[in-house]
Every structure is written in C-alpha cells, then in structure tokens.
Structure 1
Amino acid sequence: MRKAALHNLGCKVNAYETEAMEQLLEAAGYEIVSFEEKADVYVINTCSVTNVADKKSRQMLHRAKAKNPDAVVVAAGCYVQAAADKLREDAAVDLIIGNNRKADLVPLLEAWFAGKEIRESITDLAGSNEYEKLHINKQAEHTRAFIKVQDGCNQFCSYCIIPYTRGRVRSRRPEDVEEEVKILAEEGYKEIVLTGIHLTSYGIDFKDEGIDFLTLIKRLHEIDGIERIRFGSLEPRVITEEFASELSRLPKICPHFHLSLQSGCDDTLKRMNRHYTCKEYADRCEILRKHFRNPAITTDVIVGFPAETDADFETTRRFLEKVHFYEMHVFPYSRRAGTRADRMPDQVPEPVKKERSAVLLKLEKKMSGEYRSSFAGTEQEILLEEPVTINDEIYMTGYTKEYVKAAIRLDGRDPKALKNTFVSGILGDFLTEEILLLNEK
C-alpha cells in the first residue's frame, strides 16, 4: 500500500479541497500519513495570494522532495495557476494540477506509476464556467464542517490575484450541496460553514433558474440533523433589509457575520477597487443589528495600502472604533506581482505598516473583550468541541452561535462523551481573556 501525505496552504476553500483530495486517495487505496512522515506521494495544495504565499508554496514543495527524493511531489492549486512555467522547470516537482482539476489527482498518479509521460492537468480558467466536482463525507473537525459551494471571483480588487488563479464565478448545484450536507449530517455533524472564494456571488450563474444565495441557505436549513449554519466571508452589499429579515426568520442561522472591509477610508477603498463606501458598509452593519440581537460582526483590514497616509489610517481607525467589531483580522499590505496595487506609487514602508498594525491589533483586543463581556449574565447554548486545561483544572470548550468561546467544568465527566453535544447555561466570569465560564442549567 502506497503512503500519501498532504499539506494545505491558504484559505478555507483550499482546506476543503485538500480534505476532498485526501478522501480520493483513501478511496483509491492509499494510506494517509502525516506530512512529517516518509511517504510515496506528497500533495501540496498551494496558495498564491501574496508573494510570501508563493515563497511558502515553493518551500513546502522542496521540503517534501527532501523528505523522500524518490517520492512523487504534486503541486496543486493557485500557485500552479500563477506560475505553471516555473513549476515545470522545478526539479522538486513531479506533477502539477491546477484549480478545477484536483479531481484528476488519482488518475494522474496512476499514469505516473505506470510510466506514462503525463505530468500535468491545468485548465485556462479565464473562459471556464465549469464547477469542479469535489465532495467530502467527513472532516478532521467533527463538530463543524466547511462546505465549498462556490468558486472564482469577478471583483478584481487591485491588490488581489485570485480572479486570475481561480477564474470567474462558478456555483455548485444546490442539489449537490444538499446531498453532501445530508451525508455529513448522517455522520453526526451538527454545524456547517458555507465557504467560497466570493461566497455571496453564489447563484449568479443560475439566475435564469431563480437560484441565489438565500435560496441555497433556505434549502440547507431544512436538512435534519444540522442545527447551525454559519457563513464564510460575505460581501457587504449582500446585506439588505430583505436578506437580513429573511435570515432572521431561520433559527439555525448563526448571527455571526464576517463582512470584509479592508479599509475605513473611502479614498483607500477606491484605490483598492472595493465597490462600496464606508457609509454603505456602516449602514449594512446597522441592518444586521436591527434584525439580530447583538450579532457578532467581524472583518478584515489591510493596513499600509499604497498611498495610505497617516490621515487615511486615522480615518480608518476611527471608523473601526465607531462600527465596533467583535474581531478584526489585521493584515499589513503585502505586494503581489501581477496586480495593479503592486505597480502603484507611494508604497508604504514596512516599519510604518508594522506600527499601524500594532495600533489596530490593540484596538481589536479592546473591542473583542468588550463584545464578549456583553454576554456575561446571559443564557447561552454552546456546542462542545474539545477539552482544555486552565489553572490546573480541565474544562470542555465550545462556542455560542455568535462564536463566543465558553467552557464548562468537566467535573469528572468523559470529554469524548460530551464532544459534539449542546449545553445551555448562564455565562459568567472570564476564565482567560477569550473564554467565559458557562454555568450549566
């Protein structure tokens, strides 16, 4: 039996695809082993979102070949789409598989081991409207399953290479999504997270059939066994009165909304080619707060984008404070060759980016603590996930629908028996900066 090891780089969509490739290999008779072990096949699902991501992808490919020079090293994913010519010349790489072709992994390996001269499977995604058929029936995490429902992006933000590495928007058939979610529900999963490269574009290629993102959500909401539905990153413009009102009527929806922002300065948003203003974004947050009680609103922010002045940054800081997010993912701007932003003048020095990041991370910590504190004394339900030790005492942790982390005392109970079960109680004191104690009912 041949051994295969996989390593994922990048986003939740990549992680889903890596899980799907692992299951393809298992079904073909491969033994899946840790990436740190000696294997016959190494599959690296690469990322190409920044120059740094490209470098990490190359490093992991070379590390795999160093582990076993006789192994078949497979490069898959976004870096393949961005740099296929370089990979064809790289002695550490044996097979290359582009996006939308990961389902070809096993046939390519069979051809390789049969001595056939087939080294790649790559599609020009610019003109493709085909959705890649990958499926999963389990995930490493047994309480929460990530479901890829959409691929590609039509937005062309000035800092982003993804429309070129992932292609145009392509949606997965709703009946195909339903089938996978039903299988996962039968396997015991109680929470699903819908993910995609530009999730809220779901259905634009099905508009003649009257299928959109909300249609998909409602269909999944009817599946028995699934108790919670979360979303990946959402485009702010999808949040309308109608959309929020409809969601608020669905009890399985988690009031946890990740609305990508990137900057709180209109001038910077224009240079980024983001298609909204700060006022429009803030209005969307207010719509959510109107229809949901104390929803968790999280976001991404890029600091040090080309030509961002001190005044621009201060405008962003004040805007973030005004909206008052639960969590913020703060990224110093990272140049990516092939994007418009890489060619823009007035690139911000790295020390300035670092300083601005520190300011926003401090603000994030303050706002996050305040949001968590707002739940103290309220009755909540958490889905238990894993045990942790805090001050020499063992607790079982889980999350509320708003993704606030809480814990119960084990008191001698078996953590394996508690995993993937719901527990209700009153949230009390902080056990750590990020974990509240849930006093069970």
Structure 2
Amino acid sequence: MGMIQKKKVAFYTLGCKVNQYDTQAMLEQFKKNGYEIVDFDEYADIYVINTCTVTNLGDRKSRQMIRKAHKQNTEAIVVAAGCYAQTAPGEIISIPGVKLVIGNKDRSSIVELVEQAQSSSSPINVVDNIMNTTSFENMQIEKYEQHSRAVLKVQEGCNQFCTYCIIPYARGPIRSRNPEDVYEQVKTLVDNGFKEVVLTGIHIASYGKDLEHTDLLELIEDIHNIDGLLRIRLGSLEPTFLTFEVIQRLSKLPKVCPHYHISLQSGSDKTLKRMKRHYTTGQYAKVVDELRGNIPDVAVTTDIMVGFPGETEEEFKETLDFVDRIAFSKIHVFKYSPRRGTPAANFPDQVPAYLKEDRSRELIYRGSKLEEHYMERFLGKTYDVLFEQQSKDSPAFFEGYTGHYIKVLAPCSENIHGEIRPVLLEQIQDEHILGRIQK
C-alpha cells in the first residue's frame, strides 16, 4: 500500500496584524485536519488569500494573488477570506478560479467549507451582513512558525466610522474575546516558548465595551501575572484611551513594552474634524507629554494620512509642525485612497495624486530624520533584545527588537531564535542599530 498523499494548502496574507492572526488560526485548523502547509509559491491543492481593503492597493494586490494562485494550479480550490472578500464578494467570485468566498465570519469552519467547495460545481459565497454579528469568533492558536513574538487578537470590529474608513463595514460592530479565553491562549503561547505577545484588534481600545466588568487595562493587568511571559506589546491605540489614570497604571507594569502606537492621522484640527476623529491635536499632545512624564524614553509611533479631501497647504504644514513638536520615533505614512461606500469618497476638493505624492515624500523624510534622532539616545547603552531570526541580507547576523521597538542586528554564530540577550547598541545603520551581544 502506498502512502496516502496529504492535501497541500498555501496561505497569503495581506494587510494588518489582525489578518496575520486570522491566517495563523485558519492554518492550524488545516494542520489539525491532516493537511500539509506549503509555501504560497509552490503547487498546492488549496490556496487561501486573506484579503485587505484598507486602500485600493489592498484590493488590487488581493486580486493579483488570487490570479497567481489559479495560474499555479488551475484545478486548485482558491479561497478568498478577509476584508475585501467581506465588502465585495460579487467582484471576487467573478475572478476565474475562486471557489469559496468567506469574508470575516465562518473562518472557524474553513476546512468543512473547503471540503464542500470541492464537491460543488459552482463557487460558494458564505458572506452575509457582518453588521448583524454580535459575538467574537474564538479561534485558538498554538504557535507562529518562525516567530518569537505572538500576535494575539483580542477584539474584532469597530464602531468609530471615521469618514475615510471602510473597516467598520468590513469587520462589523465591536466584539471582544472572553478574558478567560485570552488568559488561556497566552498561557498556551508561553508554554510553547513565546516570550512576547502583541495584543491586537481592529480597535483594541474598545476591548470590553460589549462585556461586563472588564476593559483593556484589566486584561493587560491580568495577563501580566503569567509566569514566563516577559513582554506585552500593544497594538494601535486611540489617544482617548490613554487617560491620566490608564498611563499611571500602565507605567507600573514592567512587562508592558515602553512603545505606544497612537493613531494620529492628521496634525490639523480642521482635517481631524472632517475625518470624524474624536480628539484634537491639543488632546493628543497632552497624552504624549503624560506618557513621557511617566515612562522614560518611551517610543511613540503613529500613522498619518496625507491628501485627505480638502487638505490645504496650510493644513499639511500644520501636520508637519505637529510631527516635529511631538518628535515621533516612527511614522507610518499613507496616502488617502477613496473607498466606495464611505462618506469621504464623495467629499468635494479631492486632492490630486501628484500633491499626495509630494506630501507623502516630505512626511516620510521628516519621519526618517526623527527616527534617527530617537535612536541616537540609545547608542552606547545596553538593552535586552528579543531575537527573531537570522538576517536575510547578512546571514552572519541575527535580528530582533528592543522593548522600545528598535530593530537591532548583532553578529552571532549560534542560533539564538526566540532568546532575549543583552546587546550593546553601537551604530545606526539605515533603520536599525548594529550591536554586540554582551556575555
């Protein structure tokens, strides 16, 4: 008797950390059901593309990867999951090769749905109205291949409805993961060797608003007690979450990384108002001052959008000035992209593409100068680095991150994947620091 060939499944993930978590959870379900996981560039029986729709680029890349999968094996079951699948199932199901569209629900049944699709003569679309979903889809994970940090999704959905954003329509209303489930999940990850967890969600600041007697801060304090867990990193936060009391309590938790990603979007109050963001630049600056007053050398990173409809030269200059005033340690810059179905897509005074490009370039340049300036203060000092992998460009080096989220490369002849080592930080190179491991 020859061996029964295992069916092969390959994954491609676009977009955010929440999608990375969802992919890992789906991947583990296939594994438990006896499937073999292969690289996306290889021949597979099933390809799962976890799509993104934050920008037009996300849509386009999602379609490209779907076509690539079909080209690699025209007989394969091609599955589209995630946000683009949720918001435009009709567009996706018309792409040749797509056999299953599942959006942002029913992912915990992906293996059964794929098996249904195998015996169905026409494509299956199980996407329905996400706005009616009220419970968190609890998908456990045990590990991340090749990673030392585990991304842990604790929250789903968003109720903010910023005027530019499609995500509330793609992910539905807020749902929080049961705190006991989170605690057990972190313990499992720590037992499997992970030393750092990144708490993530679509809008994690609203964690617990749909549950009784808990919130994000209590959840953090709860998992802080788990032995063997050395670092807790937080995903993107709204400035309104970081009140004086919250900052005081967070500053007393040594495992919480001194790195806060606080979404800004614009440094102009007029723009923020049109975006329907629920804070002013003054409130934002106060939060950052409070963090810096309580947490030494805290890293403050952010997202900023350029070219939002109606953004004048003066408003853009306000953003530049605000960025300099706050002195972020890293800025993720992206250009406004009109999303069908959002209010801003129909706003007057859409900004031309060449202006978005110019503004993006200028802001990226400012951001890189600030990043370098921030890194300088760490030179000549020793910090703990959690090493994640061998450097692809320089195999004699291992790379990892400090608690402040500074990327560090250090020469090492042994495999230190997943280990925390003290490193003397010596020299800035591009967007990382070269260091020497201290014995």
TM-score, normalising length: structure 2: 0.95
Which residue, out of 401, 410, 419, partners 1:399?
Answer: 401
Separation in structure 2 between the aligned mates of residue 245 and residue 65 of structure 1, nearest angstrom:
53
1:353-406 CA deviation, whole Å, 9 max, x = no partner?
Answer: 11111111111111000100011233321112233388x893333221101122
- Equivalent residues of 1:142, 1:188 under 8 A apart: no
Deviates more, 1:228-237 or 1:427-436: 427-436
Which residue, out of 77, 84, 91, partners 2:89?
Answer: 84
Separation in structure 2 between the aligned mates of residue 199 and residue 137 of structure 1, nearest angstrom:
21
- Equivalent pairs: percent with the same residue? 46
Aligned-partner SS, 1:38:
coil
- Equivalent residues of 1:378, 1:427 under 8 A apart: yes
2:230 corresponds to which residue?
Answer: 227
Aligned-partner SS, 1:69:
coil
The question of 1:19 aligning with 2:24 is answered: yes
Structure 1 residues 37 and 349: CA distance shift in structure 2, 3 A:
same
Separation in structure 1 between the aligned mates of residue 231 and residue 362 of structure 2, nearest angstrom:
34
Which residue, out of 1, 6, 9, partners 1:4?
Answer: 9
Amino acid of the residue matched to residue 195 of structure 1? Answer: T
Q: CA deviation at 1:335?
A: 1.4
Q: CA deviation at 1:141?
A: 3.5
- Equivalent residues of 2:99, 2:122 under 8 A apart: no
Amino acid of the residue matched to residue 420 of structure 1? Answer: G
- Equivalent residues of 2:372, 2:428 under 8 A apart: no
The question of 1:119 aligning with 2:137 is answered: no
Q: Which residues of 2 match residues 377-392 of structure 1 at below 5 A?
A: 377-388=380-391
1:317-363 CA deviation, whole Å, 9 max, x = no partner?
Answer: 00000000000001111111111111011111111111111111111
Structure 1 residues 85 and 406: CA distance shift in structure 2, 3 A:
closer
- Equivalent residues of 1:4, 1:43 under 8 A apart: yes
Q: Structure 1: where are the runs of 5+ without partners?
A: none
How many correspondences in the alignment? 434
The question of 1:375 aligning with 2:378 is answered: yes
1:230-256 CA deviation, whole Å, 9 max, x = no partner?
Answer: 011001111111111111111101010
Deviates more, 1:425-434 or 1:271-280: 425-434
2:290 corresponds to which residue?
Answer: 287
- Equivalent residues of 1:111, 1:118 under 8 A apart: no
- Equivalent residues of 1:101, 1:123 under 8 A apart: no
Separation in structure 2 between the aligned mates of residue 359 and residue 123 of structure 1, nearest angstrom:
42
Q: Structure 2: where are the runs of 5+ without partners?
A: 1-5
1:434 corresponds to which residue?
Answer: 432
Separation in structure 2 between the aligned mates of residue 420 and residue 439 of structure 1, nearest angstrom:
15
Separation in structure 2 between the aligned mates of residue 51 and residue 374 of structure 1, nearest angstrom:
38
Separation in structure 2 between the aligned mates of residue 272 and residue 384 of structure 1, nearest angstrom:
39
Amino acid of the residue matched to residue 326 of structure 1? Answer: S
Q: CA deviation at 1:34?
A: 1.2
The question of 1:60 aligning with 2:65 is answered: yes
2:324 corresponds to which residue?
Answer: 321
2:3 corresponds to which residue?
Answer: none
Separation in structure 2 between the aligned mates of residue 169 and residue 431 of structure 1, nearest angstrom:
41
Separation in structure 2 between the aligned mates of residue 68 and residue 255 of structure 1, nearest angstrom:
46
The question of 1:298 aligning with 2:311 is answered: no
Separation in structure 1 between the aligned mates of residue 425 and residue 320 of structure 2, nearest angstrom:
31
- Equivalent residues of 1:382, 1:400 under 8 A apart: yes
Separation in structure 2 between the aligned mates of residue 57 and residue 230 of structure 1, nearest angstrom:
28
Q: CA deviation at 1:282?
A: 0.5
- Equivalent residues of 2:100, 2:125 under 8 A apart: yes
Deviates more, 1:366-375 or 1:42-51: 42-51
Separation in structure 2 between the aligned mates of residue 387 and residue 128 of structure 1, nearest angstrom:
42
CA RMSD of aligned residues (A): 1.8
Q: CA deviation at 1:124?
A: 1.6
- Equivalent residues of 2:154, 2:177 under 8 A apart: yes
- Equivalent residues of 1:303, 1:353 under 8 A apart: yes
- Equivalent residues of 1:406, 1:438 under 8 A apart: no
Separation in structure 1 between the aligned mates of residue 430 and residue 40 of structure 2, nearest angstrom:
33
Aligned-partner SS, 1:428:
strand
Amino acid of the residue matched to residue 121 of structure 1? Answer: V
Aligned-partner SS, 2:432:
coil
Q: CA deviation at 1:117?
A: 7.0
The question of 1:43 aligning with 2:45 is answered: no
